[in-house]
Structure 1
Amino acid sequence: MSFVDQPAAREGRISFINDLFLADEATLVQELAVAADPGEAGREKIQATATQLVAAVRKNSRTSGGIEAFLQQYDLSSAEGVLLMCIAEALLRIPDADTADKLIADKITAAHWKDHLGSSDSLFVNASTWGLMLTGQILSLDETAKTNPGQMLGRMVSRAGEPFVRTAMRQAMKIMGHQFVMGRTIAEAIKRSTRNEVLPYRHSFDMLGESALTAADAKRYLDNYHDGIDSIGKSLKLPPKDVFSAPGISVKLSALHPRYEFTHEERVMKELVPEVLELAQHAKKIGICLTIDSEEADRLEMWLNIFEAVYRDPSLDGWDGFGLAVQTYMRRGRDTLRFLTELAGDTGRRIPVRLVKGAYWDSEVKRAQERGIDSYPVFTRKSHSDISYLAAARQVLAAGDKLYAQFATHNAHTLASVLYYAGSRRDYEFQRLHGMGEDLYAEVVDPEKHDRPCRIYAPVGSHEDLLPYLVRRLLENGSNTSFVNRIVDESIAVEDIVADPIELARSHDFLPHPRIPRPADLFQPERPNSKGLNLADRNVSRKLLADMEAAGGKVQKARPIVAGREQSGEEVPSVNPVNTSEVVGTCMLASVEHVDAALKSALTGQLAWNRKSAQDRAAILNKAADLFEKNSAELLELCVREAGKIIPDAISELREAVDFIRYYAAQSLTHFGEPIEMPGPTGERNTYGMRGRGVFVCISPW
């Protein structure tokens, strides 16, 4: 078995793309702040424009109300907001009526809806609150009836009301879905996009759907994308003046392949590139644009490789409609744009680039913590992500005719910054999500005001596909830190809404968020986290595989050890389960005599061990954990060859062992340290302490 012959051991196609994968946050943000800073005069103009935008939005929101007012009233800092979130998430996937009724009865009666009645000027919010309040009262009668048998009428009302309420709540969730989703099909979404459209918006249609789990799923999504392209083409009454003003479609690569993971890159490149090329050729033929959506950080390098392979195909020459979305909350955002700029320059075509801040922040943070890697692939402060976006905006604009900038934002300060950076240029566009930011972008697209083009990102999907997207939007915009939420909240000062992220970051010396510890420090001060490896970074995987190759090749010998001395016994070969002709090593089995001798030795040594302090015991355990990590390449190589484990599983097994050892070292300090003094009568001293109970036999099941 050779580890260095694996694809992950080879140098990547984009040599620099992972250099900043887990870069030092403070250093990188300071560099980006310099790149984003327009100077004092520029900052003043940006603040003035942003202030004007917020004032206009608040003025318009007083008359429009609607979903943004609803989200502000029931944000996720309120119990009622959390309950609505639970109901929204659960009702759409509960298959039977009885369970749905129980959920409603349990959740909706627990909330204090009356506290929100009259708190908003929006008719939509107050009408919703009345319905929730009355529904809660009807259902709460059932609870009263349980404690008072005389109230049979209340029980009957409850029973009669639950199906009605269930239907109403499901309909309410569909109404909320209608707010965020343009239509169930592309045809329906196109029809809705052209209905009563007063302002000149462009549209990009996003076919909802999470990762394909099977080849059949992937085929269905691929067919849907082709059908969507055809539907958009049929809707064009007149040819657009150029591809940038044409409608478009967004594609998620995870929906097109059930193994869209960096560990399967060779297979994915072979199977997925032809399918994406077919979609691009189809979009070119129709005359619309095709955007590849960005996804998790682990997939970035493979995602760019797929894009490049398709983009360089000669069949796409002369077409500037093939683009992609770049998430600037990633620390590799700057290098991603560098690669795209070089690719466009090399091919002589322009690449549309949709700049977004990112949609997977929570999962990126939790995944990094769970894996125990050195740092995070994303920034830990919102102001840092904002700075990265501003630096990226200037970088895209500086690329000139190599990149076509598409600025997706609902942030007034970010929007004002882009307007300032771009000056009189008009060869770019803004983008907003369907159902959000209408008042903000009414100021932008108005010919009498800023007069800049804006594209609506319009999700399309069935009731079943709605749930993940709807939950993301509710979480995103129900948060009381959401810009969409805060911009219409007049209790927040305008200057706080449009605060300069560079000044905010400078006020805390560009340091990471103090309440988001590095993954290595997740369990501090008790203990360090076990060290993981960022296998998605080829620089890391190449070194690991080289180290494992160097550690292998020798035949291992395992013997029973009794009282510190190796013993002899029956010799049994250990073979590689993947290749049974390969002998990994030999194991000498312990005999009954060895077991008796080990128990006798343990009983003799237990008294001395029991006299050791908790600090000494913890030090021995922690040294063992450190040695495990120091010799990780050799141990991982053995896990792979002897147990047939894949490398990620081998890493998990090693980390679990290290975590257990350090955990019990910390527990020994807690429980076997100084005795704890207990309360007692005057003149009496009572202490509580723990000591070893003796020798235990552990029979491992593997």
Structure 2
Amino acid sequence: MTTAFSPSCVAHWDSLDQGKFADETATVRGLLANMPLDGTERAAVLAAAVGLVEHARASVKKQGVVESFLQEFSLGTREGLALMCLAEALLRTPDEETRDRLIAEKIGSADWSSHLGQSDSLFVNASTWGLMLTGKLVDVDEEARTDLPGFLKRIVGRLGEPVIREAVAAAVRIMGEQFVVGRTIEAALKRSNREGWLCSFDMLGEGARTAHDAERYETIYADAITAVGKTAKGQGPEAGHGVSVKLSALSPRYEATHEARVWDELYPRILRLARIAAEYDINFTMDAEEADRLALSLKLLDRLAREPELGGWTGLGLAVQAYQKRCPEVIRRVAELAKTSGRRLMVRLVKGAYWDTEIKRAQVFGRTDYPVFTTKAATDLNYLVCARAMIEAAPHIYSQFATHNAHSLAAVYRMASERSVKIEFQRLHGMGEALYDAARDAFGPVTVRAYAPVGGHEDLLPYLVRRLLENGANSSFVHALLDERVPASAVAADPISAVEAHPDRHAKIPTPKDMYMDRQNSQGRQNSLGRDYSQAADRERHAVALQKVD
């Protein structure tokens, strides 16, 4: 028997949408007025962050395989872009002929030979050979080995052959598999325990499309939680492995416009999974997704937190995205929920992995503004403001900080240490090892949990594309950390100073309504505004309008 969920709770979370499209400049100025660090602290944090970068560069013997891959094939190279486009092509092409043409275009247009032997990772070099399709599926003479670009041109015409097509698809899958801990939860547990990693396992799957998909994903999650729980040995949610769950994988209609169906179908599934996690006393985190689903996910969290049958379990958690303007208010309300429900919550603060999607969706649907910040510095500042709020909410919140950024790491560590609050950091599997090794040398014992994807090749490519987009750009911290050409002071720059100097939105990203305007010449037209049915207010206005028509 589940608890009742009152209309007042629904309205409480729906009111979050009032800040969804808040003016960015005004929001940033509000963050600056709520400065998370004073002048002395900022100077100390900056020095510590630069020290972390320098120490990581001086001590690292070998990059993680994912970092090596992103360094060699960044989105600043033609080859990196070709790989991302190719991975997407293999996901989306409707027929073999189209797939052949895309593969021929992306593989044939790039200079793979320039990357051969340039990385210290055997995986990256092997992937390069595989992408050049040399030495395995075709006979390669000495002339071809000395003229690899010419050789590629000669075989591009043969890429339409089934065996070549499958070889390229296999090469991309092999690359994707380096981004995961194991194909099964059993393999992932074995590897993580062998390596001594503390993990939050993410069972790959980008969302249910049918009721059958939702049932299948529930079974996958239940099996994973059970497998992790059986190895927990009473460690508890903080010291043992956990599992991250995507709510969109548990319902084909995880949308605000289908809220009744969410309560009828999705909530029972998430409750069944939470029961298993509570039984084994492990961490169970609801992953963050698109901004349109934020209020709905928090309603689900609210009801779960108040479930008597979950007892005194303290492993229930959620991920919150700092690139959303509403993040500080979300933290405040989640801390309030933890107090009123009596259930300690685990909160993972991330910067966010769907930025490009949020920007494009807001433009396509004619929103008044964006739900996310348009500059990286504003997101980094918001992260620090939210981090302080989470730390100050202890013990009602157990804070988990996911970051590969040296400045964010140093700032969060200082804020937590000054308040004697226990926290943990999180990193993506295959990334951040050098940075957190440097942190342990500089600060002493630091708890670090790896966000560890688990899955087969059919679920790998979407994850690969997202990681390429998120971390493959030259401006990303992951790409710049171990690049000696980038000064350590630039890699560890203080985002507060950057925002103070430029508090406005990104100059090249106007609001969606002005995206067709030429602001210099006052020409063009305004974009048409659409209704946002993820917001209760817009749904209610639409319902009133329909009643008038009737």
Q: Is the 8 A contact 1:209 1:465 kept in 2?
A: yes
Cα distance 1:135–1:93, how it changes in 2: closer, same or farther (>3 A)? farther
SS in structure 2 at match of 1:180: coil
Match among 319, 326, 344 for residue 320 of structure 2: 326
Q: Is the 8 A contact 2:65 2:178 kept in 1?
A: no
Match of 2:404 in 1: 410
Cα distance 1:132–1:327, how it changes in 2: closer, same or farther (>3 A)? same
Match among 250, 260, 281 for residue 266 of structure 1: 260
Match of 2:514 in 1: 521
Match of 1:460 in 2: 454
Match among 191, 201, 205 for residue 205 of structure 1: 201
Shift of 1:360: 1.3
SS in structure 2 at match of 1:363: helix
Cα distance 1:252–1:196, how it changes in 2: closer, same or farther (>3 A)? closer
Q: Is the 8 A contact 1:21 1:537 kept in 2?
A: no
| Counterparts of residues 283-432 of structure 1 (less than 5 Å) | 283-423=277-417, 425=420, 427-432=422-427
Q: Is the 8 A contact 2:127 2:175 kept in 1?
A: no
Q: Is the 8 A contact 2:177 2:457 kept in 1?
A: no
Matched, 1:228 2:219: no
Shift of 1:500: 0.9
SS in structure 1 at match of 2:19: coil
Match among 426, 440, 444 for residue 439 of structure 2: 444
Match of 1:503 in 2: 497
1:366-392 deviation per Cα after TM superposition (whole angstroms, max 9, x unaligned): 111112121111111111111111100
Q: Is the 8 A contact 1:109 1:136 kept in 2?
A: no
Match of 1:493 in 2: 487
SS in structure 2 at match of 1:431: strand
The 1-side partners of 2:159 and 2:465 are apart by 30
Q: Is the 8 A contact 2:401 2:426 kept in 1?
A: yes
Amino acid at match of 1:327: Q
Q: Is the 8 A contact 1:445 1:453 kept in 2?
A: no
Amino acid at match of 1:463: H
Q: Is the 8 A contact 2:515 2:526 kept in 1?
A: yes
Match of 2:187 in 1: 188
1:466-491 deviation per Cα after TM superposition (whole angstroms, max 9, x unaligned): 11111111222221121101112211
Shift of 1:334: 1.1
1:435-489 deviation per Cα after TM superposition (whole angstroms, max 9, x unaligned): 111111223356x843110111111112111111111112222211211011122
Q: Is the 8 A contact 2:513 2:528 kept in 1?
A: yes
The 1-side partners of 2:97 and 2:273 are apart by 44
Q: Is the 8 A contact 1:135 1:165 kept in 2?
A: no
Amino acid at match of 1:223: T
The 1-side partners of 2:220 and 2:185 are apart by 9
SS in structure 1 at match of 2:205: coil
Matched, 1:434 2:439: no
Match of 1:239 in 2: 234
Shift of 1:406: 0.3
The 1-side partners of 2:122 and 2:293 are apart by 45
Match of 1:216 in 2: 212
Q: Is the 8 A contact 1:381 1:513 kept in 2?
A: yes
Cα distance 1:333–1:419, how it changes in 2: closer, same or farther (>3 A)? same
The 1-side partners of 2:359 and 2:156 are apart by 47
Match of 1:512 in 2: 505
| Counterparts of residues 563-642 of structure 1 (less than 5 Å) | 637=549, 641=550
Matched, 1:17 2:16: yes
Q: Is the 8 A contact 1:71 1:485 kept in 2?
A: yes
Q: Is the 8 A contact 1:431 1:454 kept in 2?
A: yes
TM-score (ref. length: structure 1): 0.70
Cα distance 1:159–1:259, how it changes in 2: closer, same or farther (>3 A)? closer
Q: Is the 8 A contact 2:130 2:171 kept in 1?
A: no
Match of 1:73 in 2: 72
Amino acid at match of 1:57: A
Q: Is the 8 A contact 1:105 1:140 kept in 2?
A: no
The 1-side partners of 2:98 and 2:525 are apart by 43
| Counterparts of residues 168-179 of structure 1 (less than 5 Å) | 169-179=168-178
1:653-698 deviation per Cα after TM superposition (whole angstroms, max 9, x unaligned): xxxxxxxxxxxxxxxxxxxxxxxxxxxxxxxxxxxxxxxxxxxxxx
The 1-side partners of 2:95 and 2:273 are apart by 39
Cα distance 1:507–1:233, how it changes in 2: closer, same or farther (>3 A)? same
Amino acid at match of 1:58: R
Shift of 1:224: 1.1
Shift of 1:95: 9.5
SS in structure 2 at match of 1:108: helix
Shift of 1:55: 1.3
The 2-side partners of 1:204 and 1:192 are apart by 13
The 1-side partners of 2:171 and 2:440 are apart by 31
The 2-side partners of 1:343 and 1:276 are apart by 18
Q: Is the 8 A contact 1:138 1:157 kept in 2?
A: no
Shift of 1:354: 0.5
1:201-250 deviation per Cα after TM superposition (whole angstroms, max 9, x unaligned): 321111111221111111111111111111112223x321x322121111
| Counterparts of residues 84-103 of structure 1 (less than 5 Å) | 84-91=83-90, 103=102
Q: Is the 8 A contact 2:176 2:460 kept in 1?
A: yes
Q: Is the 8 A contact 1:344 1:402 kept in 2?
A: yes
Cα distance 1:486–1:254, how it changes in 2: closer, same or farther (>3 A)? same
Cα distance 1:183–1:122, how it changes in 2: closer, same or farther (>3 A)? closer
Shift of 1:118: 6.0
Cα distance 1:434–1:377, how it changes in 2: closer, same or farther (>3 A)? same
Cα distance 1:437–1:172, how it changes in 2: closer, same or farther (>3 A)? farther
Show structure 2 runs of 5+ residues with no match.
1-5, 141-152, 518-522
Show structure 1 runs of 5+ residues with no match.
1-6, 142-153, 553-636, 642-702
Shift of 1:109: 2.8
Question: In terms of mean alpha carbon deviation, does 474-483 or 203-212 score higher?
Answer: 474-483
RCO (CA 8 Å, sep 6+): is it higher in 1 or 2? 2
SS in structure 2 at match of 1:326: strand
The 1-side partners of 2:277 and 2:127 are apart by 43
The 2-side partners of 1:134 and 1:216 are apart by 38
Count matched residues.
530
Match of 1:52 in 2: 51
Amino acid at match of 1:357: K
The 1-side partners of 2:156 and 2:211 are apart by 49
Cα distance 1:64–1:545, how it changes in 2: closer, same or farther (>3 A)? closer
The 1-side partners of 2:453 and 2:512 are apart by 35
Amino acid at match of 1:334: P
Match of 2:535 in 1: 537
Cα distance 1:128–1:375, how it changes in 2: closer, same or farther (>3 A)? same
SS in structure 1 at match of 2:12: coil
The 2-side partners of 1:179 and 1:334 are apart by 35
Max Rg structure: 1
Amino acid at match of 2:71: Q
Amino acid at match of 1:484: V
1:522-547 deviation per Cα after TM superposition (whole angstroms, max 9, x unaligned): 21131111122233222344355446
TM-score (ref. length: structure 2): 0.88
Shift of 1:264: 0.9
Identity %: 48
Match of 2:148 in 1: none
